[in-house]
Every structure is written in structure tokens, then in C-alpha cells.
């Protein structure tokens, strides 16, 4: 089946004219951006129905749904992009959503975090599953007093903070709200000097530092990480621990910036689900959420968080030691020496590779689109230099004499379908059956191979491709990014200027 790849603007335009009628015959939904500068409402999306219409999703949904069926994958990818674009997605009218379905929905996006790994958390005795936290104003119904400490991102007590929070309102009390503030705007209204080389530390866990200002690992946009109030330990600047006064001064300025930007107050209605990009927003529960004056007024919230894979990092200042080749417009840059696949060969797939390119370089970066021979030659040189296969921002349509669609939005190529496939090994071949290898990597001698878009996990296969490059062996696939020459140079010049000062 042909799967359209769409840029976000195209996607929004088309979704507003019910694109999803054609993809999901019985369903359609719209992503409606809010008039405020962040957030979107998802209209006409019933999560329970969505999961029911893809029954295969439930079969092995532990711990993550690896093989989301094609049509569902289109929807999930679109929602992921919308989440990074708008920073929170509000799904109203999900009345009756069970905790099992909430968990499965999160697992379509990745791995749900086990909350018992939070060192400062006392489990609630009515807990059904360690991945589903329940909050309340009454201790018979859930954990009380959670999230009111101050504006924060979740996961400030663990090494790798979560990607996203899926917060569902089962029932609520008058005035109970979650306040949200967008971190890019907060950061932009603070002097860079205040944040430079400052690390946030947790008051609950020793030696757990995170860059206070950094770039969002998936969207590449400027962002921050912190927890205010009692969550903050003594910050560090250039590795030196700051005093309480210095730390409080920074936090006061952050609080002022949040007020200046103007948080959005989300008043809860039973049955709604809020999905927050945890690394693009800070949030805090309003005091009304804890109301105890009326013993019959019970608030019940369920939270499942989407785990991330890598610790937060500051972007490197210089890219000299990243293997790269540039022409007079574009640089192709390998992350092969910077991303560890680990012993289980969990190398990043194409979707994650695109995120890593944005996080490491710039929000306009992506995996490489080799639309002409010159770019293909540059990529071949990098692959040979590292002796590593590299994923491209490409999708293959058809098995024999397939066409390739590059990037998002898609770019035309100059190949006339005469791509440098590896003829020796009979590429492209959809090794595990038709449509099983829609993605493409560049391998030895600059030849191209089709492959799954992620490490293969099914029995009888190896995670990475087995190819002959000198010896025949299995390889991990690295991300090959592209970034504009202008940006690549701008950064190097900035570094140069700083060194000269």
C-alpha cells in the first residue's frame, strides 16, 4: 500500500479537510491549533474506538507495541509530530477510557515508564499497574498532594526524564486545573547569560544534573528543564555548586518569566485526556486540585508517562569531529560516532534518526535526502570512512523498480528511478515479504539497500542487516543527517569568535 508522507503544514491543511476519511474509512479527526501560541484540540478522535479498530495492536502490547499496523502508524506519527509542533494535545470526550486502554495508547508511541522507578514516590495501595499512577484529593482514591510543588517537568528525579505525559481525568472537583507554560518562550524571555552552563539539580536525588537550558532532543527547539519550589536542589554553574541565594535568584527569574509568558490554565472536565510534551512544557497542579472541604467531591486523575531513551544533553558547540562532507549548500553529517546502539543493537530507526538530527544540529535538520549523484557520493564517502551503514530520509514504494520518496515535505530527485541499488545482493528485495523493508540505508561502495525502518525484533532475524563489507557480518545502522552549510558554518564562526575573545 502507498503511504503518503506529509509535511506538517500539508498535514494540517489536509487534516482540516478530513484526510482521515481516506485512511481510516470509519474514522476522521481534526487537529485544531488553539488561538494561544501553543496547544491543539483533537476533534473527533475516540481512543477506545481507535484501539478497537486495530485489534492486532493489543496482542503483544507489553512493553511497547512494536509493529503498529500501517494505517495506525500513520495516525500515531501524525500525532507525534503534532505534539512536538503544538506541545500539548487535548483529547476531549474520552469518557470511559479504561486504564488498560490508556496504557496501550501510550505504548503506540513507545515504552511506558514504570513509576516505581521514581525514588521519591510512595506507591498508592490501590495501584493497578506500576505504569499507571493515580492522583486524588482523597488518599482512598489515589496519591494526594502530587504536582503542586511548583512548575516542573516530570521525571526530574530520574536520569532520563520522560518524553510525554498522558494525563486522564476520571472525575474532578470545582476549579481543579493544570497550569502549563511553554518553555521555548520562557527561555527566550530570560537572558542567555543567566542560563549559560547552569545545571538543574534535584532536591531529592544527589548528583543528578540536567542542563537548565538545552535543545529539545526530538524537535531541536530551544527549551529548558527544571522543577521549581521544593523540587530544586542547589544548581551548578560551570560545574561549581551555587549557593541557595544564587539558585533562588535563578528560580525567581524563571518564575517571573513564566508569569510574563502567561501560563495556560486547563480546567479539567471528566473524560478528557491531555498529552503534554514533557520536555517542551512545565506544568503545575492548581491548589483547587487538593480541595478537601467537601468529602463527596472526589478528584481522580490517571497518569501514564512515555519514557525517553537518552539523557538530556547540551548541543555540542563545534562539529569538527563529526564525520561530514559539504557541498556549497548542504552538509551531510554522521552520528555514527555519537550514538551508542548498545549490546542489544537498539540503533535508532528512521523516525528516531530524524529526531536525533534535529536535537543534535538544528530544528530544520533531518536524515539525508540523496536526491542527486553528488549527494550520494558524499554519503558514500562518509559510510566508507566509518565502515557503517547509514539510514536515509527515504521511503520506498514497490519492490521491483520501486520509486523513492525523499523527506518531509517530499523533494523531487534527479535519479529517474536509476538508483544505485546493491545489485550483487539483489537489492531491493523486501527480504521478509512484500512491504517489509520500506526504508533505505547506504552501505558499502555507496550502494543502497532496503531495510525495515527500525531494528528487526522478530524471531529468526538479526536486528541489523547482514552485509559483506570486508567480512560478512551484522551491522548497526547509524543516522546520516543533513544540515544547511550556512548553519554549519555559522556555528563554527561563532565558536571561532568566542575563542578569539
Residues 452 and 464: beta-carbon distance below 8 Å = no
Q: Which is nearer to ligand NAG, 261 or 273 (CB)?
A: 273
Q: Which is nearer to ligand NAG, 95 or 256 (CB)?
A: 95
Element (H, E) at 29: none
CB 94 to ligand NAG: min, Å:
7
Enumerate the H helices of 53-165 as residue ranges.
56-59, 70-86, 99-107
CB 271 to ligand NAG: min, Å:
7
The helix/strand/coil state of 141 is coil
Q: Which is nearer to ligand NAG, 7 or 49 (CB)?
A: 49
Q: Which is nearer to ligand NAG, 48 or 461 (CB)?
A: 48
Q: How far is CA 144 from CA 189, 213, 283, 354, 464, in A?
A: 33, 31, 17, 39, 46
Q: Which is nearer to ligand NAG, 93 or 144 (CB)?
A: 93
Q: Which is nearer to ligand NAG, 26 or 35 (CB)?
A: 26
Nearest to 369 by CA among 392, 348, 350: 392
CB 52 to ligand NAG: min, Å:
6
Nearest to 279 by CA among 307, 304, 256: 307
Please, what is the Cα angle at 356 between 4 and 313, to 5 degrees? 155
Alpha carbons 193 and 131: distance in angstroms, whole number: 39
CB 127 to ligand NAG: min, Å:
25
Q: Which is nearer to ligand NAG, 102 or 156 (CB)?
A: 102
Element (H, E) at 203: none
CB 50 to ligand NAG: min, Å:
9
Q: Which is nearer to ligand NAG, 27 or 73 (CB)?
A: 27
Instruction: Tell me the residue ranges of DSSP E strands in 327-418.
Output: 330-334, 366-367, 390-391, 394-397, 403-406
Q: Which is nearer to ligand NAG, 49 or 243 (CB)?
A: 49
Q: How many residues does the chain have?
A: 501
CB 35 to ligand NAG: min, Å:
24
Cell of 241: 555548586
CB 265 to ligand NAG: min, Å:
24
CB 14 to ligand NAG: min, Å:
24
Q: Which is nearer to ligand NAG, 50 or 264 (CB)?
A: 50
Q: Which is nearer to ligand NAG, 269 or 474 (CB)?
A: 269
CB 341 to ligand NAG: min, Å:
40
Q: Which is nearer to ligand NAG, 53 or 203 (CB)?
A: 53
Residues 226 and 254: beta-carbon distance below 8 Å = yes
Cell of 42: 483533537
SS3 content of the chain, % helix, strand, coil (to 5): 25, 25, 50
Binding site for ligand NAG (CB under 6 A): 46, 48-49, 93, 95-96
CB 99 to ligand NAG: min, Å:
15
Cell of 106: 501510550
The helix/strand/coil state of 202 is strand
Nearest to 289 by CA among 315, 268, 264, 310: 268
- For the chain, give the longest Cα–Cα distance: 76
Q: Is it true that the peptide bond before 63 is cis, omega within 30 degrees of 0?
A: yes
Residues 234 and 242: beta-carbon distance below 8 Å = yes
CB 163 to ligand NAG: min, Å:
26
CB 306 to ligand NAG: min, Å:
22
Alpha carbons 453 and 440: distance in angstroms, whole number: 8
3-class SS letters over 175-237: CCEEEEEEHHHHHHCCCHHHHCCEEEEECCCCCCEEECEEECCCCCCEEECCECHHHECCCEE
Cell of 331: 552538509
Q: How far is CA 496 from CA 317, 395, 491, 493, 500, in A?
A: 10, 39, 9, 5, 6
Residues 329 and 372: beta-carbon distance below 8 Å = no
Alpha carbons 443 and 421: distance in angstroms, whole number: 10
Nearest residue to the partner ligand NAG, using Cβ? 46
Amino acid at each position: 500500500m502507498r503511504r503518503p508522507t506529509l509535511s506538517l503544514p500539508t498535514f494540517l491543511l489536509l487534516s482540516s479537510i478530513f484526510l482521515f476519511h481516506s485512511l481510516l474509512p470509519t474514522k476522521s479527526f481534526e487537529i485544531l491549533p488553539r488561538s494561544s501560541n501553543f496547544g491543539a484540540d483533537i476533534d473527533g478522535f475516540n481512543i477506545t474506538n481507535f484501539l478497537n479498530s486495530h485489534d492486532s495492536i493489543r496482542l503483544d502490547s507489553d512493553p511497547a507495541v512494536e509493529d503498529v499496523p500501517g494505517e495506525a502508524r500513520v495516525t500515531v506519527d501524525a500525532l507525534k509530530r503534532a505534539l512536538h509542533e503544538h506541545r500539548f494535545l487535548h483529547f476531549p470526550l474520552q469518557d470511559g477510557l479504561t486504564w488498560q486502554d490508556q496504557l496501550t495508547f501510550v505504548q503506540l508511541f513507545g515504552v511506558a515508564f514504570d513509576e516505581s522507578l521514581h525514588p521519591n514516590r510512595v506507591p498508592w495501595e490501590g495501584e493497578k499497574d506500576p505504569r499507571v499512577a493515580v492522583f486524588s484529593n482523597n488518599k482512598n482514591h489515589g496519591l494526594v498532594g502530587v504536582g503542586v510543588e511548583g512548575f516542573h517537568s516530570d521525571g526530574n528525579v530520574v536520569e532520563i526524564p520522560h518524553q510525554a505525559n498522558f494525563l486522564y481525568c476520571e472525575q474532578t472537583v470545582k476549579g481543579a486545573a493544570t497550569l502549563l507554560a511553554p518553555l521555548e518562550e520562557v527561555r527566550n524571555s530570560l537572558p542567555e547569560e543567566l542560563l549559560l552552563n547552569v545545571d538543574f539539580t534535584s532536591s531529592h536525588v544527589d548528583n543528578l544534573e540536567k542542563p537548565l537550558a538545552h535543545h529539545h532532543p526530538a524537535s531541536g527547539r530551544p527549551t529548558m528543564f527544571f522543577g521549581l519550589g521544593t523540587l530544586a536542589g542547589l544548581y551548578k554553574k560551570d560545574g561549581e555548586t551555587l549557593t541557595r541565594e544564587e539558585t533562588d535568584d535563578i528560580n525567581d527569574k524563571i518564575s517571573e518569566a513564566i508569569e510574563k509568558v502567561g501560563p495556560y490554565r486547563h480546567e479539567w472536565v471528566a473524560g478528557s485526556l491531555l498529552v503534554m510534551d514533557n520536555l517542551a512544557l512545565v506544568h503545575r497542579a492548581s491548589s483547587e486540585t487538593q480541595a478537601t472541604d467537601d468529602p463527596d467531591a472526589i478528584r481522580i486523575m490517571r497518569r501514564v508517562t512515555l519514557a525517553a531513551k537518552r539523557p538530556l544533553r547540551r548541543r555540542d558547540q563545534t562539529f569538527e569531529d563529526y564525520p561530514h562532507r559539504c557541498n556549497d549548500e548542504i552538509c551531510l553529517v554522521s552520528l555514527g560516532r555519537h550514538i551508542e546502539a548498545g549490546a542489544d543493537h537498539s540503533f535508532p530507526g528512521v523516525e528516531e534518526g530524524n529526531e536525533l538530527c534535529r536535537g543534535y544540529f538544528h530544528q530544520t535538520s533531518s536524515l539525508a535526502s540523496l536526491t542527486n549523484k553528488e549527494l550520494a557520493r558524499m554519503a558514500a564517502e562518509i559510510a566508507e570512512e566509518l565502515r557503517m551503514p547509514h539510514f536515509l530520509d527515504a521511503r520506498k514504494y514497490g519492490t521491483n523498480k520501486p520509486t523513492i520518496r525523499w523527506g518531509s515535505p517530499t523533494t523531487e530527485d534527479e535519479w529517474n528511478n536509476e538508483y544505485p541499488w546493491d545489485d550483487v545482493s539483489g537489492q531491493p528485495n523486501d527480504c521478509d515479504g512484500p512491504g517489509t523493508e520500506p526504508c533505505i540505508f547506504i552501505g558499502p561502495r555507496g550502494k543502497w539497500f532496503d531495510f525495515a525502518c527500525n531494528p528487526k525484533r522478530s524471531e529468526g532475524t538479526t536486528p541489523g542487516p547482514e552485509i559483506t563489507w570486508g567480512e560478512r557480518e551484522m551491522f548497526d545502522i547509524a543516522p546520516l543527517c543533513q544540515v544547511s552549510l550556512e548553519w554549519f558554518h555559522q556555528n563554527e564562526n561563532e565558536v571561532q569568535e568566542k575563542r578569539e575573545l
